[in-house]
Structure 1
Amino acid sequence: MLKRQLGVTLIETIVFIVVVSIALGALLRVFQQASIDSVDPVVKTKALEVAQATLDEILSRKFADNTPTGGVPACNPCSAIGVGPGFNDVGDYNGYTNNSDPNFRISVSVTDAGGDLGIAANNARLVTVTVDYIDSNPLRSAGRGRLSLSAYRVNF
């Protein structure tokens, strides 16, 4: 009578090690890609915060140079869009750029946009803040992105 042998042969052990190492290698590549991409939302969120802060700063200014403090009564006629001293009104920010952070470059455009709202063209201004950002993650080639926020400022 033959005795039943228990255990694993050398061939079975080698096959098991090969299969497990292939699966583990694939799993590690997935985790590596996930860790590389985990920085991307952080960069986009910072770009959004920079754009929102700049837009809030601009919208807190007067509509035009000759707008009284508080905005009432509305200026008529209002001063034209253009860079003035001290950035004291919305129109002064047209063409504004800020490159102080090389990863987040800010540019602003201000246009008369009353026609978009059904009022006189010079009674509303469309402020657009654009942030060009660079994802300088060392684990991949630098990615570039652009984020724009726009808002209307009305002469009230």
Structure 2
Amino acid sequence: MRIKHSAARPLQLGVTLIELVVFIVVISIALVAVLAVYQQSIINSVDPIKRIRMLELAQAQMDRVIALRYDEATPSGGIPACNSVSGPVCNNTTEPDLDDVDDYNGFSDTPAVGYSRQVTVTNTTLDGAQAKEINVVVSSTDGESLTLTSYRVNF
């Protein structure tokens, strides 16, 4: 069986060089776009782990500070509160014994490799009550930081 070809329409058995070059260019552009998205996801894949680590370090320090007495003069159990009608006078001294909230003002350490942690404590009032604002800032070596803020009330 013989196939007849007409002179008006020749038989095509492949692709032209122009079609091949256009195909390669289109595939290259699509591949560059896909690889750029993939590269960005790989670069940021460690960010959630780093943020969770920073949050754990900040929360651990915040728990230590919040668990302490409001002031040196605050009795065990916190009742009566210092500067209250029947309580002792608050003395707000900062001593290196770290036994009350004020003692942690200016505290800093390096809890893990690549992370630093600072604590600041400032006196404030909340709805007319004495309080201390506690800020714990954890920073990583790449400049990212996370801040936790809490208030310790004199009760």
Q: TM-score range by the shorter chain?
A: 0.7 to 0.9
Structure 1 residue 37: Cα displacement:
1.7
Structure 1 residue 6: Cα displacement:
4.2
Report what 1:73 is aligned to.
80
Q: Which amino acid aligns with 1:152?
A: Y
Q: With the length of structure 1 as denominator, give the TM-score of the two structures.
A: 0.79
Contact 1:81–1:110 under 8 Å retained in 2: no
Structure 1 residue 92: Cα displacement:
1.1
What is the distance in 2 between the residues matched to 1:131 and 1:79? 29
Contact 2:58–2:137 under 8 Å retained in 1: yes
Matches within 5 A, 1:27-106: 27-75=34-82, 76-85=88-97, 87-106=98-117
Give the secondary structure class of the aligned counterpart of 1:38: helix
Equivalenced residues, count? 143
Q: 1:45 to 1:100 in 2, by over 3 A?
A: closer
What is the distance in 1 between the residues matched to 2:139 and 2:22? 51
Q: 1:81 to 1:40 in 2, by over 3 A?
A: farther
CA deviation map 1:39-86 (0-9, x unaligned): 22322222122112111110011112222222122233122141332x
Q: 1:81 to 1:106 in 2, by over 3 A?
A: farther
Q: With the length of structure 2 as denominator, give the TM-score of the two structures.
A: 0.80
Q: 1:117 to 1:145 in 2, by over 3 A?
A: farther
Structure showing greater relative contact order (alpha-carbon pairs closer than 8 Å, 6 or more residues apart): 1
For structure 2, list consecutive stretches of 5 or more residues without a partner in the other structure: 1-5, 83-87
Q: Does 1:111 align with 2:122?
A: yes
The structure number with the bigger radius of gyration is 2
